[in-house]
Structure 1
Amino acid sequence: MRYARRLLLAGVIGAVAARRALRTPYDLTGRAVLITGGSRGLGLALAREFLARGARVTLMARDAAELERARAQLAADDRVHTVAGDVTVDADVKRAVTEAVQTFGGLDVVVNNAGMIQSGPLANMTLQDVQEIMDVNTLAPLRVTRAALPHLRDRRGRVLIVASVAGKVGTPHLGPYSVSKFGAVGLGQVLRAELAPQGVGVTTVCPGLMRTGSPRQATIKGHARREYALFATLDNLPLVSLDAGVAARRIVDALVRGDAETMIGGLAHVLRGAQALAPQLNADLLGLLTRVLPPPAPHDRGVRGADAESALTQANPIKRAAERDHNELGGAAG
């Protein structure tokens, strides 16, 4: 019994010490950062923020042309390296980690930002849709973190997982996306606990809507034009969505502070709070919301958001500015 108490006390002391170490402000000056999904959208905004804080960045994405446009937009010369690869392919992930280490002499931070989104009724989503999005949004962060872990241990580095408020509150017409982000949140919690004794900090962020220009890259199902018009409009409402640069700054702040988990944006805080305080009422309200959303279509075909544009969405100047500023207009959905 006495031994058990001593063991428990030692565990508590160790946990407190680890927590203090992981909560020490993390200076990014000179740090080497690998950002997946770094060629456009939030990934590009995060690259700008890391560069502004003195870091050096390796951007990984599938489309080499998009990566070159991103490099040109960042205009940071030898502080930016790019790797074309797919986060669902082990060989590509290992190559990205190796190149980041060789280019900058080590690896301090991994930003698991690469992701995909599908919008539409769950009735029009297939099992293949769910498997595909889980591989990118949930399993890829584990794959990338594992590949980078030996280097992160050596540098007492940090891991950032970009989840979503949809990973805290099940969201109608974002079914597979929401499931995958719940998985990402759980992964972040487990990694935080298990990597802490190794000196590696893990931060999970859950943003709400952000003006990144990314809806045009989403897969849209159901009545595509109606679904896309709703999605793209909400994503670019100033009072509902967050400027991508502001979101990137808050996300990097959370990493620097060593937060375990942080909601990003007022909408994210409201939705998470409603779910925590009144889950039954929140479920009823989401059920009512679903009644006014477009109904399922008689087919399961999906289209890229850019192919579901209408005069209404094309005329939105906030949306077009976000797409231009975050490299969303010039290439394929890579």
Structure 2
Amino acid sequence: MMSLPQFHDNGSFFQPSVFLLIGIPGLEAMHGWISIPFSSMYALALAGNCLILLAVKRTPSLHQPMYYFLSMLSLTDLGLTLCTLPTTLAVLWFDYQRIAFDACLTQMFFLHSFSVVESSVLLAMSFDRFVAISNPLRYASVLTNSAIGRIGMAIVTRATVSLFPVPFLLKRLNFCPGKVYLSHSFCFHADMMKRACADITVNILYGLYVVLSTAVVDSFLIAISYGLILHTVMGLASPQERIRALNTCVSHILAVLVFYIPGVGVSIIHRFGRHAPPIVHAIIAYVYLIVPPVLNPIIYSVKSKHIREALIKMLKKKDQG
């Protein structure tokens, strides 16, 4: 049941009962055709990440820290995909634009939480590579199953605590009466707060704090990790050993680039791209949220021999069955 707009006693406070979502601005007439590649990407993301999880679960030789972290990455990518899939396909398939105010807050919370989790998992994976290359003899004793479990809990706690205040900071804002359109087919914090007819300084500052304390800190620490890895690799005796050591990092480096480059684009366009065409905002946001879950399983399947072999073996067993 749709909730009514909320007013203070003086009638000055307004919250919309629903937000209206937009698919691809300017291309509404082509949403039916546009839904085909979007549906394909969602299907690839879901199938690819589920296969990675099954391969790790069913292959005893993959029960190692590196692949446990990869499983965390796949779970996070599944979460990101499922956050945006219902509303995006509802807009593209059925032109259904309405989302309840509280539902929008919930989607926004989980969407940004999974983004923080993904950033944290990528940092943990860089630490895994650093330990594996810099101190291989202590690798198993440092990254025990209990240690990996604690890292996973810390990652989820960090994301939850960081994002917990955001819905309440949005809930207190006064919105302009009338229809409230968002710029995407899902709920972004920056997009929602800009629709308020109120002072959003606190929201901007807290949003900036979350970005600085998560993505910026994580990317800085990842860069330090790879600086230390390179220092260690350069000290190896033979070129073959150097290449072998660096080759174990290629998949992770690609995953980092696939996640952070669009993420930087989203931050820049929301803060400095006010005059950019709406379609530019939409495309960058879709690339940020949909492309990494699609590409990460492909990257690890192509670059990791062990994952590739496990997937092939699993698929062959399915065919034989």
TM-score interval for Structure 1 and Structure 2 normalised by the shorter chain: under 0.3
**Normalized per residue, which structure has more helix?**
2
Task: State which structure, 1 or 2, has the greater radius of gyration over its C-alpha atoms.
Answer: 2
TM-score by length of 2: 0.27
**Normalized per residue, which structure has more strand?**
1
